[in-house]
Amino acid sequence: MRNLFIICLLAIFSLVQAEVITLNILSDTTWKSTNTSYASWATLGFNDSGWSTADNVNGTTTYSGGYYIWEGARTGTTNNEVFFRKIISFTGTVLSASMVWVVDDDMEMYINNTQVYRETNGGAESGSMTINPTYFLSSSQNIIAFHTTDGDLPSPHDQGDQYFAFNITLVVDVPEPSTVLLVGLMLAAYGFFKFRKH
């Protein structure tokens, strides 16, 4: 009986460790957007209720699953500086994070108000990177924000076409409360069984 308990516990613990999920955070029209610069705009507590939502500027075409978005039209010399933000909620700890993107033309990325990437070459391009998972808070709300420009980020120029599309991949270790509770109950039962034998 004792061996059976231990085998069951090991099996359940292995299930707990295997509870890893992949989240894909894609560019789409659920992102809040504005072409106005605000203080503290990349913080979780910032009130973005006055912002609009991103526009789809390339129809059904996607880049790694992410729609091409902007604030306003894809072409033209207005709306050449755009801010995007979105609150992401999940339960668990981020084990690894990465991102692929295409932008016309430059962008900088913030996670919980910390700048994690800045690209300022003034031209359109695609890219990929790994992101330090410790930028994300465990089992909490996280704010992801982007500052994008049509043209060079520090001093916009050569404007006319503008878009941004991305796919952020998070690998998250998710605790399963029911399984943890089951482990606790089995440990209690094992203790009771041992007690009865003495």
Query: Among residues 68, 54, 83, which one has the least CA distance to residue 147?
Result: 83
Q: How many CB atoms lie within 10 A of CB 87?
A: 12
Query: Among residues 159, 149, 129, 23, which one has the least CA distance to residue 86?
Result: 23
Q: How many CB atoms lie within 10 A of CB 133?
A: 17
Per CB under 5 A, residues contacting Ca ion are: 104-106, 121, 150, 161
CB of 153 to Ca ion, least distance (A): 8
Residue number, 71 or 104, with CB nearest to Ca ion = 104
CB of 99 to Ca ion, least distance (A): 15
Tokens describing residue 138 = 């465990």
- Residue 2: strand, helix, or coil: helix
Residue number, 121 or 128, with CB nearest to Ca ion = 121
Residue number, 90 or 166, with CB nearest to Ca ion = 166
Are 141 and 88 contacting, i.e. CB atoms less than 8 angstroms apart?
A: yes
Length of the chain: 198
Task: Looking at the chain, list the stretches that DSSP marks H as alpha helix, in order from N- to C-terminal side.
Answer: 2-17, 177-197
CB of 34 to Ca ion, least distance (A): 19
Which amino acid makes up residue 124?
A
Residue number, 161 or 173, with CB nearest to Ca ion = 161
Residue number, 154 or 191, with CB nearest to Ca ion = 154
CB of 162 to Ca ion, least distance (A): 5
CA angle (100, 68, 61) in 5-degree steps: 95
CB of 160 to Ca ion, least distance (A): 6
Residue number, 122 or 133, with CB nearest to Ca ion = 122
CB of 167 to Ca ion, least distance (A): 18
